[in-house]
Structure 1
Amino acid sequence: MLFERLRTLPLRLLFSGSVALFPVSTWADTAAKVAPDIDLKEVAPVPRPEAKAPATADQEPSPDADEANPVPGEPEAEPAPEFVKTTRFSLLGSDVLPGTSTRLAWTPGIQIAGLSQPTPVLVVNGLHAGPTLCLTGAVHGDELNGIEIIRRTLYDLDPEKLSGRVVGIPIVNLPGFQEASRYLPDRRDLNRHFPGNPDGSLAERIAYSLFENIIRHCDMLVDIHTGSLKRTNLPQLRADMTNPEVAQFTRGFDRMAVVHSTGSDGMLRVAATRAGITTVTLEAGESHRIQEHQIEAGVNSLTSLMEKQDMISRMFEWGDPEPVYYESSWIRANHGGILFSEVDLGARVNKGEILGYVADPITNAQFPIHASADGRIIGMAVDQVVMAGFAAYHIGTEAEVPGE
């Protein structure tokens, strides 16, 4: 009779804590708090930070010191039934049940405790088994396109139809975002300090907290960026194509060019890959702007990735494969003045072709900038005042994927 009742109950009801169908004492006694099931499409209440007492000299910080803050006004969640034990997802001191989505909060612990503001973390835990995908945006606080790419991607997921989990941190560098700055308050670039150091600089402490509390819980990572310093990037992946797993991973992104780059020490992509997490950087557009075309390209590519990884099942129409650029180089202005471009982002160019020119507004002299090789414009500066040495055009040289 009991199993006959189970067959007639909706899955979401079975996984809710409101139906005590199985004993819970063996797990509930040791489990973290259960995160509330939230429809991410609904408007959320304003989060309120919790003040934390500083650790004394003889008291070690709790490993769950960065646990999520409860949503004000929400009732206490009931413990989960024992039968979901093997499929719960524990993150930031909370258990996210199968078939649910929620908002958690990450606090790196670098601000004044009484004024601390938590960073929102969106989690969709699918009803079915699968990999854990992490999406990070605004590691540079002035890069806005990634914030909207993550929002649209996460809010479009149905946890009851998802295999695996998706964790989204739309705004990693919250202090930089609030100041419309690429950098942290200590003027450091956060994306040069991973995997971090718990006793290091401000940037190293934030990097360490993010890496240990969130990134290490994931199987795959897409770190979303834009161009910097008034430059724009064609939607593209930056990936170490000498890594077989990463190279295979890039094939899941529809209509996304790939630029081979091993990266440098301190980058989130490099640190995560070394930790065994398959990682790429997704570049789209320019900083300080919300660009619809770039956002659509990013959302489309992440949807195709999840379909490729068997996380979702949708009728998806793949476009023609984009090339891999194993060689790329920046062309720099040799004179100061005002840059005027003659080509568009994504244009295919030939060696010697005029890409634009720099005009001296006082002498009226004009200095053309020529393409250094055959290829495609995968990044470029927007028209602006430039000085000699300014990187103006990024040309990618097309190549076939090894083994094809």
Structure 2
Amino acid sequence: MIYEQKQIITVLGKQIRAGESCELTFGVANLHTSSSVDVPVIVERSKKPGPVILFTAGIHGDEVNGVEIVRQIIAKGINKPKCGTVICMPVINVFGFVHLVREFPDGRDLNRVFPGSRKGSLASRVAYKLTKEVLPDVDFVLDFHTGGSKRFNAPQLRLIKNSPELEALAKVFNPPFILYSRNIKKTFRNACTRLGKPMLLFEGGKSFHIDSQVTNTGVNGAKRVLKHFNMLASKFKTSNPTKNPVFIDKSRWQRASFSGMFKPVAKINTYVKKGEVIGNITDPYGKFNHFVKASHTGYIINVNESPIVYQGDALFHITVKLKD
């Protein structure tokens, strides 16, 4: 894959020449106290030609593990390429991040309002600014997310089907699992796809939590992708994967048959067989103990870590069909 060197790229209205580095401010609105809320956007450009890669996280304010991955990419200097350009946005939804909540102050999910509107809601304006002022010169996007509250996701990449370029890059990243997932309307991923900007979406861990294994998977995957484009500085090394990723066509949630205190037994990433005991639900009084058995055979890619569950709650996300 060959990319033309863009001698000048424009990010947030600033022209940046090859070989230049800068920290820009992604600002949309102040807090209600009139205090400014500015999101740093770190741009590192090499003099040598190469692609423009964008690393993003924090579209949901409570997904701190993704923020930690991009933070480490910056702190370790991984974002300083030997060719091409790396743009890092560690926290897009800074309003949610300040309060550790998923949504914007207007109650909207930023990942459901793309490509946004210049005169719309606050979330919509942020989506618009990102789409119009950051994405135009980008060639490839890696967006880091985290599982929902109390639901721990195995490290995984999500991509659309029938995209050989994305499949190849997903294999380079080498997470434990690669899920085929359709684009949802008005998401950041869908907006990037429509603009011809290939995106890999990373999921791992759970909200309000930083997990070192998930973080390492994200950082190491980013390094492998940069090395693939010959962008990774020679001082950084990448580990050779010991296992190939598992491609997943379909998966299904197994839900609680009873309400009570929940304790998972099966670990994340493990392969379970139908009928195998994977957890149990009890009452607080020691009178009831229900063994949760796997409804079907597959890999466990998400575990509910809440100690209390109600009938119908999702307990385990288990693969149904692997890629042939």
Q: Secondary structure at the match of 1:269?
A: helix
Out of 229, 235, 243, the residue aligned to residue 149 of structure 2 is 229
In structure 1, the residue matched to 2:172 is 252
CA distance in 2, matches of 1:342, 1:113: 47
CA distance in 2, matches of 1:160, 1:144: 23
Is 1:318 the equivalent of 2:245? no
Alpha-carbon RMSD across the aligned residues, in angstroms, is: 2.2
- CA 1:116–1:342 in 2, change beyond 3 Å: closer, same or farther? same
Is 1:284 the equivalent of 2:207? no
> Higher RCO, 1 or 2 (CA under 8 Å, sep at least 6)?
2
In structure 1, the residue matched to 2:279 is 356
Is 1:335 the equivalent of 2:258? yes
Identity of counterpart residues, as a percentage? Answer: 31
Give the length in aligned residue pairs.
Answer: 317
**What amino acid maps onto 1:318 in structure 2?**
N
CA distance in 1, matches of 2:301, 2:6: 45
CA distance in 2, matches of 1:178, 1:159: 25
Q: CA deviation at 1:226?
A: 0.7
Q: Contact 1:101–1:159 at 8 Å: present in 2 too?
A: no
Which one has a bigger Cα radius of gyration?
1
The two structures have a TM-score, normalised by structure 1, of: 0.73
Show structure 1 runs of 5+ residues with no match.
1-84
Out of 97, 120, 140, the residue aligned to residue 200 of structure 1 is 120
Show structure 2 runs of 5+ residues with no match.
none
- CA 1:86–1:274 in 2, change beyond 3 Å: closer, same or farther? closer
Q: Secondary structure at the match of 1:163?
A: coil
Q: Contact 1:127–1:160 at 8 Å: present in 2 too?
A: no
Higher mean C-alpha displacement, 376-385 vs 246-255? 246-255
- CA 1:161–1:173 in 2, change beyond 3 Å: closer, same or farther? closer
Q: CA deviation at 1:241?
A: 2.4
Q: Contact 1:324–1:398 at 8 Å: present in 2 too?
A: no
> 1:253-284: per-residue Cα shift (whole Å, max 9, x none)?
03442011113112111221121110121011
Q: 1:2-401 maps to which residues of 2 (within 5 A)? A: 87-109=7-29, 114-157=34-77, 162-312=82-232, 314=234, 315-319=237-241, 320-362=243-285, 364-397=287-320, 399-400=322-323
Q: Contact 1:332–1:391 at 8 Å: present in 2 too?
A: yes
In structure 2, the residue matched to 1:56 is none
CA distance in 2, matches of 1:302, 1:363: 48
Q: CA deviation at 1:383?
A: 3.8
CA distance in 2, matches of 1:112, 1:383: 34
- CA 1:160–1:371 in 2, change beyond 3 Å: closer, same or farther? closer
Q: Which has the higher strand share?
A: 2
CA distance in 1, matches of 2:137, 2:307: 43
Q: CA deviation at 1:180?
A: 1.0
- CA 1:86–1:215 in 2, change beyond 3 Å: closer, same or farther? closer
Q: CA deviation at 1:183?
A: 1.1
The two structures have a TM-score, normalised by structure 2, of: 0.90
In structure 2, the residue matched to 1:36 is none
Higher mean C-alpha displacement, 157-166 vs 135-144? 157-166
Q: CA deviation at 1:110?
A: 6.8
Q: Contact 2:272–2:300 at 8 Å: present in 1 too?
A: yes
Q: Contact 2:54–2:140 at 8 Å: present in 1 too?
A: yes
